[in-house]
């Protein structure tokens, strides 16, 4: 498994238009979690982009309070390997999830999200993009999941969608307010680019069966608009060696000729190489494939894996929790912590209490804001320290717990520290 000390992180991307279906098939293959995978083959971060997640009004209301079934299924598949869901960003049927190995959580800073609607002239979110950006180990990464305008003849609309997203997406993080300003940009999704006129669906099928993919890719609209610098010209896509990912008969690996087959589902990237004096940034892609055996949608999922260069020597300036021996059920409990480097708390910061094996940052049991409630500075040599108290209702049952310090600046957040596990139990009388 890649470690920050090696100056690399491994990222695993998945994009899949799930056609409003619920998860039915095992997701292990899609995530590279076969029984033969070693720890070195697993990713540091998984980025899962979905399109057409079921989004009737009643589902959208429920998803405000509960995870959608797809996000839950991916989280369940990853949690036993010590992955934690950092964030979900949703716009109607568009869903983007980031799962991170627990050991990397406290190196994440300035996590921000954004969305752009492009459906019906920007009034509706059935098409558009969602994104998540963050800093980690001295570099910043932006991940975009998009669903662009469909149909063969609406190429101009897809071009307009891209340029609208680039123009309107804006983050509350200085120096990286725009998607393309980031050190690393990854753009995934159902981009809906088709093949140019001239071939019928059966012609395309015959060429696919002969493995003459290069003949078809010469007619790929996305490659054409990139070459003409109309859209996606700033990004790179590695060579496609898999069949078109759309449109298939449901529960089948055969094309559905109601639409001409095409590569609608894509993964592209951009690296701003020379932005730092101490290192040249680089992304190495070593897989790009589709998964024909997933048959519950009319699209086939696509994945890609990357190693990216990071800067692990850059200080994080987080916090360190002082040792916690035990917290008691039905009693007020306190924890103190100290800042590393020149960090300091702000009124929006909070500390969450979690079960030890939590698999999502949304799974806090309770939280306390810094500077509100019962809170006090602590005088300790050589470090600025603070103590915060949790009410007697925080710990309700025996078990192992953790505390996580979240720096919150409006919608932008970072994880500054996480305590080792500690027990909670009832005091013996």
Any residues with CB less than 8 A from the CB of 44 and at least 6 apart, and which?
Answer: 1, 2, 9, 10, 11, 100, 101, 104
Looking at residue 342, its pLDDT comes to: 80
Residue 244 sits in the same domain as residue 343: no
Residue 276 sits in the same domain as residue 336: no
The enclosing domain of 343 has a CATH number of 2.60.40.2840
Looking at residue 125, its pLDDT comes to: 60
Residue 360 sits in the same domain as residue 401: yes
Task: Report residue 40's pLDDT band, with 50, 70 and 90 as the boundaries.
Answer: low
Strand order, beta sheet including 94-101: 83-91, 94-101, 45-51, 8-17, 302-309, 283-290
* DSSP class of 325: -
Alpha carbons within 13 A on the beta-carbon side of 206: 5
Say if residue 5's pLDDT is above 50. Answer: no
Task: Report residue 385's pLDDT band, with 50, 70 and 90 as the boundaries.
Answer: confident
Average pLDDT, the chain: 92
Looking at residue 50, its pLDDT comes to: 98
User: Of the residues 278, 310, 342, which one is the last residue of a structural domain?
Assistant: 310
With beta carbons less than 8 A apart as the criterion, state whether 29 and 304 touch: no
Domain membership flag for residue 203: yes
Say if residue 88's pLDDT is above 60. Answer: yes
Residue 340 sits in the same domain as residue 251: no
Rg of the chain (C-alpha set): 23
Say if residue 2's pLDDT is above 50. Answer: no
What range defines the domain where residue 213 resides? 7-310
Query: Residue 284: which of 271, 299, 296, 267 has the closest Cα?
Result: 271
Domain membership flag for residue 27: yes
Task: Report residue 3's pLDDT band, with 50, 70 and 90 as the boundaries.
Answer: very low
Can you say how many angstroms the Cα of residue 184 is from the centroid of all Cα atoms in its chain? 13
Over residues 149-196, the pLDDT tens digits come to 999 999 999 999 999 999 999 999 999 999 999 999 999 999 999 999
DSSP letters spanning 214-230: HHHHTTBHHHHHHHTTS
Q: Which residue has the higher pLDDT, 63 or 108?
A: 108
Q: Which residue has the higher pLDDT, 378 or 137?
A: 137
Residue 47 sits in the same domain as residue 82: yes
Residue 126 sits in the same domain as residue 76: yes
Residue 326 sits in the same domain as residue 363: yes
Domain membership flag for residue 156: yes
Looking at residue 60, its pLDDT comes to: 54
Residue 168 sits in the same domain as residue 72: yes
The enclosing domain of 11 has a CATH number of 3.60.10.10
Alpha carbons within 13 A on the beta-carbon side of 316: 21
With beta carbons less than 8 A apart as the criterion, state whether 189 and 129 touch: yes
Say if residue 292's pLDDT is above 90. Answer: yes
Domain membership flag for residue 251: yes
Over residues 311-362, the pLDDT tens digits come to 988 888 899 999 999 999 999 999 999 998 887 888 899 999 999 999 999 9
Domain membership flag for residue 123: yes
User: Of the residues 310, 339, 360, which one is the last residue of a structural domain?
Assistant: 310
H-run or E-run covering 207: helix 201-209
Q: The pTM is what?
A: 0.94
Residue 297 sits in the same domain as residue 355: no
Domain membership flag for residue 1: no
Cβ of 299: how many Cβ atoms within 10 Å?
Answer: 23
The token duo for 185 is 């940009």
Say if residue 38's pLDDT is above 80. Answer: no
* DSSP class of 38: -
Over residues 104-139, the pLDDT tens digits come to 999 999 999 999 999 766 555 689 999 999 999 999
Residue 72 sits in the same domain as residue 167: yes
Task: Tell me the C-alpha distance between 14 and 246, whole Å.
Answer: 16
User: Of the residues 280, 310, 340, which one is the last residue of a structural domain?
Assistant: 310
Looking at residue 1, its pLDDT comes to: 39
Cβ of 195: how many Cβ atoms within 10 Å?
Answer: 21
H-run or E-run covering 74: helix 69-79
Residue 197 sits in the same domain as residue 323: no
The number of folded domains in the chain is 2
Over residues 244-260, the pLDDT tens digits come to 999 999 999 999 999 99
Residue 284 sits in the same domain as residue 248: yes
Beta-bridge partner residues of 139? 136
Task: Report residue 56's pLDDT band, with 50, 70 and 90 as the boundaries.
Answer: low
Distances (CA, A) of 204 to 14, 153, 387, 390: 25, 17, 67, 64
Domain membership flag for residue 2: no
**Strand 422-425 with 327-328, pairing:** parallel
Looking at residue 316, its pLDDT comes to: 82
Domain membership flag for residue 74: yes
Task: Report residue 428's pLDDT band, with 50, 70 and 90 as the boundaries.
Answer: confident
Looking at residue 143, its pLDDT comes to: 98
Q: Which of 56-70, 318-332, 393-407 has the lowest mean pLDDT?
A: 56-70
């Amino acid at each position: 498994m890649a470690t920050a000390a090696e100056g690399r992180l491994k990222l695993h991307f998945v994009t899949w238009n799930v056609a409003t279906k619920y998860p039915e098939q095992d997701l292990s293959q899609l995530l590279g979690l076969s029984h033969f995978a070693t720890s070195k083959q697993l990713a540091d971060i998984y980025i899962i982009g979905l399109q057409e997640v079921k989004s009737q009004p009643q589902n959208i209301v429920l998803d405000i309070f509960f995870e959608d079934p797809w996000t839950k299924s991916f989280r369940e598949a990853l949690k036993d390997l010590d992955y934690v869901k950092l964030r979900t960003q949703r716009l109607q049927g568009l869903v983007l999830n980031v799962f991170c190995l627990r050991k990397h959580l406290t190196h994440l800073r300035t996590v921000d999200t954004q969305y752009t609607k492009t459906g019906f002239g920007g009034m509706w979110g059935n098409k558009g993009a969602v994104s998540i950006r963050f800093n980690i180990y001295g570099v910043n990464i932006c991940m975009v999941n998009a669903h662009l305008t469909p149909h063969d003849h609406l190429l101009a609309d897809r071009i307009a969608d891209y340029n609208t997203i680039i123009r309107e997406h804006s983050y509350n993080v200085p120096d990286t307010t725009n998607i393309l300003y980031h050190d690393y940009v990854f753009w995934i999704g159902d981009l809906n680019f088709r093949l140019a006129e001239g071939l019928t669906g059966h012609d395309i099928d015959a060429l696919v069966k002969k493995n003459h993919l290069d003949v078809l890719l010469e007619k790929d609209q996305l490659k054409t608009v990139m070459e003409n610098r109309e859209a996606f010209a700033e990004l790179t896509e590695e060579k496609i060696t898999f069949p078109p990912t759309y449109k298939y008969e449901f529960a089948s690996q055969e094309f559905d000729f109601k639409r001409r087959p095409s590569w609608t589902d894509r993964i592209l990237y951009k690296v701003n190489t020379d932005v730092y004096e101490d290192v040249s940034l680089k992304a190495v892609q070593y897989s790009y494939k589709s998964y024909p055996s997933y048959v519950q949608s009319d699209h086939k999922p696509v994945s890609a894996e990357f190693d990216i260069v990071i800067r692990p020597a850059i200080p994080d300036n987080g916090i360190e929790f002082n040792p916690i021996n035990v917290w008691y059920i039905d009693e007020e409990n306190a924890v103190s912590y100290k800042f590393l480097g020149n960090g300091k708390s702000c009124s929006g910061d909070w500390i969450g209490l979690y079960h030890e094996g939590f698999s999502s940052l949304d799974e806090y049991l309770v939280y306390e804001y810094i500077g509100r409630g019962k809170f006090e500075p602590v005088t300790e040599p050589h470090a600025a320290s603070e103590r915060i108290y949790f009410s007697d209702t925080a710990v309700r049952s025996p078990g192992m717990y953790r505390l996580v310090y979240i720096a919150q600046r409006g919608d932008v957040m970072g994880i500054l520290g996480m305590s080792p596990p500690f027990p909670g139990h009832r005091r013996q009388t």
